Structure 1
Amino acid sequence: MKIKLMLLLLLMVNGIFAQDTIMPLWPKDKIPNHVKSSEREIHEQNEILRISKVQVPTIEVYLPSKRDATGEAVLIFPGGGYGILAYDWEGTDIAKFLNSKGIAGIVLKYRLPSDVSQTDKKFVPLIDAQRAVKLVRSKAEQFNVKTNKIGIIGFSAGGHLASTLGTHFDEKVYKDVDDIDEESARPDFMALGYPVISFGPHTHSGSKTNLIGEEAPSELSDYFSNEKQVTKLTPPTFLLHATDDTVVPVENSLLFYKAVKNKGVSATMHIYPKGGHGFGLGLHDEHLKDWGEGMIDWIISLR
């Protein structure tokens, strides 16, 4: 009986600590642009964990041991066309890889545009992304990271969100809700994996439609065409893409690389001849499997 009680207590303690790794982005009942509705979050597991209809955005924090910690943190934005989040494939798997290199990996479960549970849905993912950087910065001591070493990585539509944050980090898209919002939302560095960048001719139509609609005016398309929004303050950028990507054309990365280069922003780009779209860590591909190591080398070069 004592053994059973001890095992039960151990499971309860482990559960408590596991829950401590997940933090809400916003205070209760203060989520910007949120409307109470019957919409509910959906989790579907079929090889990849797909999350949709996010109502309460969170960060899930993966920390390396203090002995291994480099002081860097990377916020991770999973892709999914602004319709779902490929939460493990382009989220928690990336966080665990970063942990193996001494880097804190923090997965953002951001809200996806919704006509049911949101007002002005086109800004909602950016609102959550800005808040996530501010939240991590405010928790830097708790997470054992440095406030000037907080980067982001996004994949596919998550890459669009990351590049939107990297070019619109200083824009007021929501009213401050607490002291956390006094922190800077600027990432210190930015990695973009097969990203949607442009809402022009080379766009991914699903991501564009989900975020701003099919009949969006040209001014709005330009606002979210992030190659047109680069400034000298855009963070140093790492780009990753495959030439044979038929979902998000490689021109997206090429356009962004040219834009940051023209503004004098430090950038590096890895273009592979094959790999398609959505390859994640690419561990089963001899040509792609080392891209993560290349990114780590790039992060080290920024120190």
Structure 2
Amino acid sequence: MNRKIVAFLAFLATINSIMAQDTIMPLWENKIPNQVKSNEVEHHEKNDILWITNVQNPTLEVYLPAKKNANGKAVLIFPGGGYHGLAYDWEGTDIAKLLNTKGIAGIVVKYRLPISKSLFDSKNVPLQDAQRSIRLVRYNADKWNIDPGKIGIIGFSAGGHLASTLGTHYDENVYAKNGEEDVLSARPDFMALIYPVITFDGKVTHGGSKSALIGEQPSQEDVDYFSNELRVGPNTPPTFLVHAVDDDAVPVENSLLFFKALKEHKVSTTLHVYPNGGHGFSLALDDNHLKGWVDRLLDWIASLD
């Protein structure tokens, strides 16, 4: 056979292998709940990070380790951005690639943002996307070499608020059944919250995330509903928390409140508080002390066996 043809076929095989390994799939097969047509357009801006706004078509971006390396665990990743945008690579795809090095499937959730004019009753939309995402992963677990009982979540900043909302509201009915996968549990088996927004208590909350999700003048009912330290129960998943004391955007008290609630309900929890780091440090590769949080996380996930 002609060498050029052989090379071309080898190239196609490589591409097919890559495509089978990493997948982007829509979150909703049928009608997307709480969404209406508008002139809004999803926007991707790439500077130091990839910043996504006006999400119109929520997706899962699936990064799988080699089958021989896979340990059956998976983590869904919720990037932060104050519910105004998504720091998609900084707190998303880079995290997925890191997890792959330890045999863990990393799945980035591009979730809809409540400030979008394409939405109605928008305060429930991020939770709809979060519940749907973990159900889809469970539904595809066998295909992706994932143990359906070892699926966790990680969220950063406002993505941490969404993750903690999923971890404390997983059994609430927030959307109509969209497919057979929606009969599956939306409970994460474990969760990691990195400099998370937890509470909407005005003293220590992140005002931008709060107003984006529930408005400038929310009802006390909404404030309490989305203050996730108030929603912890004995079945809340085991939780790993990381925060910096000098975080001026999302005060460390957010993680402390959640840790206290978990402890009171006898939920297994680990908290790492660093003296310095500020907010939004992602992998913290430029800080020899702070970057150790990643090793602590990976050790913790390994300990869950």
TM bin, normalised by shorter chain, reads: over 0.9
> Is the 2:54–2:116 contact (alpha carbons within 8 Å) kept by the matching residues of 1?
no
Measured after TM superposition, the shift of residue 3 of structure 1 is 3.8
SS class of match (1:143): coil
TM-score (norm 2): 0.95
Match of 1:221 in 2: 223
Which residues of 2 match residues 70-219 of structure 1 at below 5 A? Answer: 70-200=71-201, 201-219=203-221
Question: Which residue identity does 1:293 align to in structure 2?
Answer: D
Structure 2 vs 1, CA of residues 16 and 297 (structure 1 numbering), >3 Å: closer, same or farther?
closer
CA deviation map 1:171-220 (0-9, x unaligned): 00011011010110000000000000000021000000111101001110
SS class of match (1:140): coil
Match of 2:299 in 1: 297
Question: Which residue identity does 1:287 align to in structure 2?
Answer: H
Worse overlay, 167-176 or 286-295: 286-295
TM-score (norm 1): 0.95
> Is the 2:83–2:115 contact (alpha carbons within 8 Å) kept by the matching residues of 1?
no
Q: 1:12 and 1:66 mapped to 2: Cα distance?
A: 17
SS class of match (1:44): strand
SS class of match (1:141): coil
Measured after TM superposition, the shift of residue 2 of structure 1 is 7.8
Q: 2:68 and 2:6 mapped to 1: Cα distance?
A: 33
SS class of match (2:285): coil
Q: 1:230 and 1:223 mapped to 2: Cα distance?
A: 11
Match of 1:43 in 2: 44
Question: Which residue identity does 2:243 align to in structure 1?
Answer: H
> Structure 2 residue aligned with 1:248, among 243, 247, 250?
250
Q: 2:10 and 2:171 mapped to 1: Cα distance?
A: 46
Structure 2 vs 1, CA of residues 207 and 5 (structure 1 numbering), >3 Å: closer, same or farther?
farther
Q: 1:47 and 1:175 mapped to 2: Cα distance?
A: 39
> Is the 2:84–2:115 contact (alpha carbons within 8 Å) kept by the matching residues of 1?
no
Q: 1:206 and 1:146 mapped to 2: Cα distance?
A: 37
Structure 2 vs 1, CA of residues 3 and 140 (structure 1 numbering), >3 Å: closer, same or farther?
same
Question: Which residue identity does 1:215 align to in structure 2?
Answer: Q
Q: 1:148 and 1:173 mapped to 2: Cα distance?
A: 22
Q: Structure 1 residue runs of 4+, over 4 Å off? A: 4-9
CA deviation map 1:27-66 (0-9, x unaligned): 14x1111111111100000110000100110000001111
Which residues of 2 match residues 1-16 of structure 1 at below 5 A? Answer: 3=4, 7=8, 10=11, 14=15
Which residues of 2 match residues 223-242 of structure 1 at below 5 A? Answer: 223-242=225-244
Structure 2 vs 1, CA of residues 117 and 253 (structure 1 numbering), >3 Å: closer, same or farther?
same
RMSD between aligned residues:
1.8
Match of 1:22 in 2: 24
Structure 2 vs 1, CA of residues 302 and 36 (structure 1 numbering), >3 Å: closer, same or farther?
same
Measured after TM superposition, the shift of residue 68 of structure 1 is 1.1
Question: Which residue identity does 1:141 align to in structure 2?
Answer: D
What percentage of aligned pairs have identical amino acids?
62
